[in-house]
Amino acid sequence: MPPFFRLDGVSFAYDHAHPVLAGACFRLAPGEKVALTGPNGAGKTTLFHLMVGLLKPSSGTIEAFGAPRRTEREFKEVRARAGILFQDSDDQLFCPTVAEDVAFGPMNLGQSPADARIIVGQTLEMLGLNGFETRITHTLSGGQKRLVALATVLAMRPDVLLLDEPTNALDEATEARLTEILLGLPQAMVIISHDRAFLDRIATRRVRLDHGRLSEIG
């Protein structure tokens, strides 16, 4: 099976004098859980945005799910199959209630309201959020928002999860719960995190982004 993602020689800069990525190469195979590490400001989140077409590289090639991706139309399929969990849950949750937030992705992918309700129920149950359907999203705790944000991604049933600091601001109990959830998921993952103990439990391999290039960590 081909890799889910293949990036070759990818370069990108917000300011041409200070490149963020300089010929970066990366592979993500089915089933892998890859830790993406590196200093703050190295471009880790930028890499996620390039992988799903929210940004366009200045050079290099991006293949996803067995096909080259260049145009917005081509990346729409990628975004349906690779879900990003943003670092700040408030950037992900924008509907009044939990059910509406979780249903948004499936309905955007063409599911009927009835099928979307079933997916919402199944996804919330999987995450231990039974009964949260009518909760007002902005009143939730930080840990609850994190799990609901993950539910909005999982409800789209993606093949790949791109997780940006998933344990950020979580208490010990919620982090342990999130870790167990992620360990039980079949999706390939790329995980940005500075939490070494968390990555020790989750990651099957590690790469480091620094000075615009990705390198494997032993």
CATH architecture of 5-217: 3-Layer(aba) Sandwich (3.40)
In the chain, where the domains are located:
5-217
- pLDDT of 36 reads 97
Structure confidence at residue 169 as a pLDDT band (50, 70, 90) = confident
Q: pLDDT tens for residues 94-134?
A: 999 999 999 999 999 899 999 999 999 999 999 989 999 99
- pLDDT of 60 reads 97
- pLDDT of 198 reads 94
Residue type, 212: G
Mean pLDDT of 54-68: 96
**Tokens representing 31?**
């089933």
Q: Is the pLDDT of residue 4 over 90?
A: yes
β-strands 82-85, 160-164: how paired? parallel
Q: For residues 65 and 77, what is the distance between their CA atoms, to the nearest angstrom? A: 9
Structure confidence at residue 188 as a pLDDT band (50, 70, 90) = very high
**Left, alpha or beta for 28 (phi > 0: left; psi -120 to 50: alpha)?**
beta
- pLDDT of 218 reads 64
- pLDDT of 174 reads 87
- pLDDT of 170 reads 85
**Collapsed DSSP state (helix, strand, coil) of residue 32:** coil
Structure-token match 């499936």, residue found: 106
